[in-house]
Amino acid sequence: MVEVIGLLFTVNAIITWAIASLVYKTSLEKAEPKGSLFFRLCCVSLGTFLFSIIFGNYEFLINLNKDELIGYLLSCFISGLSVTIGDLLYYMSLRKIDASRAYPLVQISLIFVFPLSVLLFGETLKLSVLFGGILFLISVFILSSKDESEKNHFNKNLKEKVTERVILGVFLALGAAFLWALSIVSFNQARLISGDVFITNFLRVSMTVIPFFILALFQQEYFLGFKKESRQNIKFYIYIGIAGILSLGFADTLFYKAAEINGLVLTSAITANTPMVQQALSILFLKEKFRRRFLIAVILIVIGNYIVLFI
């Protein structure tokens, strides 16, 4: 039985993630991916800290034994690092392909969540889940196929460049999907140990700031969101930071709270509806080209979702 409060948390996450993807796509036309990533990471660290103070309770850390504490912190770190690198790949994919193509692709993370849940948490993989996964894979093939304009472009060299860009964008998005799946199952493990989602989200994000800060010392483009020469584009970094606080900071937390209520597999499957919301918003607000095969791919994702849920 699906609990209504868990469903509401999941719907909130779906809408927030879809809106945030549009903000990222629009802002990344002016902001650099690496600079945006680190600026957003710092903003989300501050946001999740405030959320953890308001909604969390740090007392559970005292009650964990040494092995539990190590396992908990390791799960937090893996979750934070994998979601951050996945976000970077997603940002890079948005520079190559449009949001209505990239976002459904990264939602294929469900394909990885299911087997990882089976391997790490001993959950049962039903035939319906397997069949749903096959539908998701078919949708990937549809989404990654070229447009007619890309196939028939009059300039052969330009056509080859467009094709290369699309293929690279697809692979970047799929890489992000795998890392997001790893982040989801790692966070779920940390949640099982702690029984807390708000503090866990803060710790996973804040722990990731340290290695990226060290990396930024050697690659100064990670500091672009803080530098004077980026002042004319600072509003785009701020938009990305706010979207990050609302999506990675709050919507992600509600997603994991929903997973606690309705289960990880069920909650993850429901979020397969996100591309449908994102597709509609991309057409309405970004004026992206409507492609019939994208609609077919999204329908397949939704069908796969309901097969997983109800069969």
pLDDT in tens, 15-56: 999 899 889 888 988 899 999 999 999 999 999 999 999 999
What is the chain's mean pLDDT, rounded?
Answer: 83
Q: Work out the pLDDT band at 154, boundaries 50, 70, 90.
A: very low
Counting the structural domains of the chain, the total is 1
196, with CB counted inside 10 A (0-12, 13-18, 19+), is buried
* Contact by Cβ (8 Å): 253, 64: no
d(CA 273, CA 20): 15
- Which residue would you say has higher pLDDT here, 90 or 199? 199
Is the confidence at residue 209, as pLDDT, over 90? yes
Percentage of the chain lying above the pLDDT 70 cut: 85
Model pLDDT for residues 160-181, shown as the tens digit of each residue: 555 677 788 888 988 998 999 9
Instruction: Tell me which residue range forms the domain holding 14.
Output: 4-310
Distances (CA, A) of 25 to 33, 240, 289: 10, 9, 15
Q: CA-to-CA distance for 31 and 230, rounded, in angstroms?
A: 8
Tokens representing 69? 């504490």
pLDDT score of 292 more than 80: no
